[in-house]
Chains A and B, each alone.
Chain A
Amino acid sequence: MNTKKNRLSIDQNIPNQETGFSLLKYLIVGVFFGIIFVKAEIISWFRIQEMFRLQSFFMYGVIGSAILVGMISIQLIKRLDIKTIKGETVFIKEKKFKKGQIIGGFIFGLGWALTGACPGPIYAQIGVGYTVVIITFISAVAGTWIYGRFADRLPS
């Protein structure tokens, strides 16, 4: 109990923790993002089928150009040492290679083609009014729980 209390108090001192109005900016970015998802029809089950059947360039164009813009942005931030709005240096955690990226990645791909949605579009689909996708969302949360429960027994 004592250690738990200590840990909590340490965590609360981390400057990155934001609360209240400070969080509003992420809501706004999310809203813009959701609108783009819907207006480009990325949330469509059919667009994902076109992609996996190689019958339309659309999704490849979306993901490819998003990567290109992301890459240029990160390079600019690093080379020009652009700071955050609070003046912090931008820090991006490195990704370590794990077997999960192969096995888990493949499993996610199977689900992506079935649901026609990766995690972002699941939220947007619900917002648009496809309320039955709430079941997909609950299942995804449950799937993550199952992963967490058995994570230590899976090849990593």
Chain B
Amino acid sequence: MDRDRRKLLAGVGVGAVGGIAGCTGTDSPDDSGNATTTATSNSSKKKTPDSDRVVTGSELEEYETVSFTMQSYTKSLLPQRYEWTHLFHDQLVNKLGVEAEVQIGQVGQIFDNWVNVDYDVNMAGWSGKPSRIDPNTFLSAFHTDGGLYTPNYSNPEYDELVEKSQRETDREARKELVMEAQQILAEDVPVVFLFADDALAATNTANWSNYTSQIGDQNYVHVWNLMSMEPQGDLPAIKAGTLFPATLNPMAPTKSADLMGLKMVYDRLVRLGPDGQPQPWAATEWTAPEPDTFDVTLRDDMTWHDGEDVTPEDVTFTIEFLQEWGVPYMKSFYDPIESVEVVDDNVVRFNLESASASFTGVNLALLFILPKHVWDGLPEDEGLEHPKNYNDTQYVGSGPFTVNTFEESNRVVFDVYDDHWADFNVDSFIWKKYGGKTQALATVEKGDASWVVNIQPGQFERAKQNQGVEANGVSQHGWKAIYMNNARRPFDDKMFRKAVAHATDKERVIKLVYGGRADSIEGPIPPANDFWHNPDLPSYDGGEEKARRMLFEAGYRWNEDGTLLMPKE
């Protein structure tokens, strides 16, 4: 049925005249011979199977068609993912003969389905936030119940390794465990690991110099860059982009852009450095007297933007306030904290529910410090249901910037807070929202903005040609994968998943969609994350032949039309 519908769509406009399937040959001399006719507008063609692999007649009774839906996002939201979804779809149809249909949906549906594991196949991706340099997030994502979004994959051996690595505070010993965990994933193929596309950015070097890029998404919205940047004259630092914070209320963040804006105004105890490693910030040092206890020493020269001193009580208050009211987006960062107390003049003790190797690199690096004298009792005084509804226009933080103007969906002007201990060459930082990357890049080229990140390969090549603009492309540690529901047939079969991996031609897609600028991966820790990456994983590049042979050996067959069949349960 699904297939018919697709055909119907594909044949749109044909009317009585005739089908459009099978138009044009794949034997054109232009083609490299690597000719997969990918077809978003044509019915994809299946291969004629070898005769000994075909079942006919009454034998067909024992088999059922392998059919599934592949979910992905709209073109306007994620143009590249939209394209590669269709490319991979066509590869699987062509090479394996599966009956697959692409389902494009709004972020609400598709993302939700991913979180709730309500899919056959879901095209997913993880962005390379600096806090994900620590291997914990990505490894936990495949833990039976410890992680989020696990595709119904469960392997007790793997779970144990991840738990151990999370407790292990010795870096080298932990590395061993992390390597082993990756090995298991590569063997089990819970998802088809695809690639880690490079972070592509352009910076204007005519009007600004000395940028500091951060590992991962190659973000420039961080203190290290704003401290090092040197403008011509008194130009502010200007970010041009399409992401934009929806709120600067520290109790209301719901997306990463919100956190990026908030961290300018609200200090963190620890900030991740350009290399992703935790650096002292509001905390001068931290120690772990026990694996589940952290003592953090606070700087003593910090003040809130309204002039009050920053005290250890502010830190304890913040954690308690967060836990009392709940900020879903930050939940995983404050949840593991069992209690927090002031143990010395300037020392705050965090008692965790269990030992955590990633506490400083993830939790402390993401939690803000809020002023107790502003927020304590505020919801009650203002009659608010939740402090997230507070229309704060003061934005009293202790961070290096204060908010000068916040124009929704347009721009934020941050001014340097003069009493902050950190030094900046710029006087202010402007975050400007553009309608598209094209416009943002044009502004950077013109010298009206300092940088733009996350541009497409075509735009990147263009930026490279430009004088006074530097185009930077670096490998990063976020990644994309074909998520298969391990609890549904035929994805519950490891052999089938492996065959899918073999049939997936990543290199071709990397060339087409990313202009060659992506690392192919076999596990959740890409090469860019040098220390934790396991370079010795098995790769699945057997191609169509191997995939089909594996399927045959595992009991799969084809019908005469070339459609893949699996034995009935």
- Note whether A and B form a binding pair: no
List chain B positions with a Cβ less than 8 A from chain A. none
List chain A positions with a Cβ less than 8 A from chain B. none
